[in-house]
Amino acid sequence: MITEELGKIEATAFGARKTKSKLSSKTQLFSHGNFLLYRAKKDSPYTIKDAVISDYNDRIRTEIERYFVANCVAEELTGFVEKEMVDENMYIMARDSFRLINGINLNKLVYLLSMIEIKFLSILGYSFDLSTCVQCGKRLDGEVYVDQYRGFPLCEKCRTDNSHHLKEGAVRYILWAQNSELRDSARVVMAYETYIEIRRFIRDIFIYLFHRVPKSWESIPEYREG
């Protein structure tokens, strides 16, 4: 669970799989609400005693493309965020992400996912400043590159054979996504080539920071024009 006050925690809902359990409908994947938690010891997992759900986000569980995108976000939150790291911005991003995945036009899902991931990296402390090269510190006046071994942004002199060049459209989107509201992803329109550049950029940054990428990326829905 990603919580506002406790950060990422482990919680058990005993008996929730039973049909008549009061917790059965309150502990569905991707739901948001207020949870009553209990634990006997400081280092033991929490137990969910009750909950009041404000957003069930039902469409995520019934529409496969929404589910695949939500699963990517869930894996990133559970697999790349430190346990009990309290960050209000991370909580708000998680809450808003699932709400938007539940309701946004299917054509915009992949744009929303990329925007969520750029914001996710920024909240973790890897904000994107294109003023200077991350390796040599010199001002960036020309082409911009990303490298899974050397980071981002890189200048022409610091790039390697493994580096990927980012065109202006991809760079503009990355900076825009970092500073805009998630709901603004509904207005995004981009060429397929730009989308591929952005996905490759996000992949390189994940490898650079975490030395791995989410397994759920294998099921990201295909790009749709519009």
For the stretch 46-99, pLDDT in tens is 999 999 999 999 999 999 999 999 999 999 999 999 988 899 999 999 999 999
Q: Does the pLDDT value for residue 225 go beyond 70?
A: no
- Domain residue spans in the chain? 108-219
Residue 106 — very low, low, confident or very high, per pLDDT cuts 50/70/90?
Answer: very high
Supply the pLDDT for residue 85. 86
Q: What is the mean pLDDT of the chain?
A: 92
Q: Does the pLDDT value for residue 145 go beyond 70?
A: yes
Mind spelling out the 3-state secondary structure of 147-210?
A: ECCCEEEECCCCCCCCCEEECHHHHHHHHHHHHCCHHHHHHCCCCHHHHHHHHHHHHHHHHHHH
- At 65, which helix (H) or strand (E)? helix 64-80
Confirm if 69 and 220 have CB atoms less than 8 A apart.
yes
Residue 226 — very low, low, confident or very high, per pLDDT cuts 50/70/90?
Answer: low
For the stretch 195-221, pLDDT in tens is 999 999 999 999 999 999 999 999 998
Distant-in-sequence, close-in-space partners of 24: CB < 8 Å, separation ≥ 6: 16, 17, 18
Pair of tokens at residue 74: 């869930």
Average pLDDT over residues 150-178: 94
For the stretch 1-39, pLDDT in tens is 999 999 999 888 888 888 778 888 888 889 999 999 998
Supply the pLDDT for residue 165. 95
Supply the pLDDT for residue 83. 87
